[in-house]
Amino acid sequence: MLEITLILTFSASSLSLRAEGRRTGRRNQMIHREHPIAVRREAVRHVKFSNSPWRGYREIVLPRSRLRRGFIFIFFGSRGIVSNDSAAPVKQRCPRCGRETEMVAKRYRNWFTLFFIPVFPISAPRKFIQCVNCGAQFPLAADAARAVAQASDAQQTQQAIGLYNSLRSSPANSITLNQLMMLYASLKEYDQAISAAADFPQALNASEQCMTTLARVYLAQNKFAEALQWFGAAIERNPHLGEAHYYKGVAHMLTEPPDLTQAVASARAARNAGYPGADELLQQAQEKARAAEG
């Protein structure tokens, strides 16, 4: 926010002189009535001659008009104001936090402010979208973002078809299966991802990464028992797979009731494997465990 202070200085001498003139005129009238002679002489100090007609009179010193200055403080400037846009929210995956969430439509506009109060806009509105989960902002109008999301979905659908056809010719290709399940998960087609894993068991059982991806698909559906089963299978094949340990800890925390002991152990294993965010997960699990004990 930019605020500029303007200080206007004006001379009040004319107002002061008129006011002093009125006061001085009234005082001179009073002096003229009491001492008529004193008005005829501008400055008379103590007169030492005893026979002087000015004896007993002192110098009359009229007040001088003073030059007075006044100050007016005016605070003005400009600041940007964010407001909600009338466009409908866009449901898509946030590029920053990676979650499927709503992108709400917003608009930004600069306003002229007087005493910190917006008076009138001084720029055209700029539209953008904002993630409701992490607050990330992207300079794209909601309608444009919706069009991009639809085009991206259509492109990903075509890509999924190509990956599935590739798996039919190479059913043991674990890399292609993992890509296909992740693509289905990004489209929120979880049942399609599970179906693909069931169609190509040879590729699934040969890769702990495929097992982890399948477990994350079950976790997204809140099917915690199936998710824990496949996380365990992946860890059995590779005990140092940090991703499997991390999301296994998440699954233990989300179950009803949560298994906080196992969650702490999984988060600690994920931290030892160097998986990103494991420290925060371990801290959350430990805090919940202490709160449950207390």
Taking CA atoms, 13 is separated from 21, 65, 69, 225, in Å, by 12, 8, 8, 88
* Amino acid at the residue 206: A
Q: How far is CA 149 from the centre of its chain?
A: 24
pTM summary value:
0.57
Q: What is the mean pLDDT of the chain?
A: 80
Residue pair 118/81 in contact (Cβ under 8 Å)? The answer is: yes
**Which one has a higher pLDDT value, 76 or 270?**
270
Query: What's the pLDDT at 45?
Result: 45
**Would you state the pLDDT for residue 225?**
94
- Residue 76's contacts (CB-CB under 8 Å, 6 or more residues apart) are 3, 4, 6, 112, 113, 114, 115
pLDDT in tens, 192-234: 999 999 999 999 999 999 999 999 999 999 999 999 999 999 9
- pLDDT value of position 67: 55
- Number of neighbours of residue 163 by Cβ within 10 angstroms: 20
| pLDDT tens digits for range 153-189 | 788 888 999 999 999 999 999 999 999 999 999 888 8
- Domains (range + CATH), the chain: 2-71 (no CATH), 207-293 (1.25.40.10)
In angstroms, the CA 141 to CA 155 distance is 21
**Cβ atoms within 10 Å of 277's Cβ, excluding its own:** 13
Q: CA 99 to CA 88: how far, in whole Å?
A: 19
Query: DSSP letters of 15-37?
Result: HHHHHHHHHHHHHHHHHHHH-TG
Q: Which range has the worst mean pLDDT, 137-141, 201-205, 261-265, 274-278?
A: 137-141
- DSSP E strands, the chain: 2-11, 69-84, 90-93, 100-114, 117-121, 126-131, 137-138
Residue 59 tokens read as 């110098």
What pLDDT is attached to residue 68? Answer: 61
Question: Which helix (H) or strand (E) element contains residue 214?
Answer: helix 208-220
Q: What's the Cα-to-Cα distance from 166 to each of 15, 104, 179, 200, 275, rounded to whole Å?
A: 93, 38, 11, 12, 31
Per-residue pLDDT averaged across 66-94, rounded?
Answer: 79
Res. 56 pLDDT band, cuts 50 70 90: low
Q: How far apart are CA 104 and CA 188, in angstroms?
A: 20
Q: What angle do CA 255, 258, 264 make, to 5 degrees?
A: 115
Assess whether pLDDT exceeds 90 at residue 46: no
- Residue showing tokens 């992490």: 134
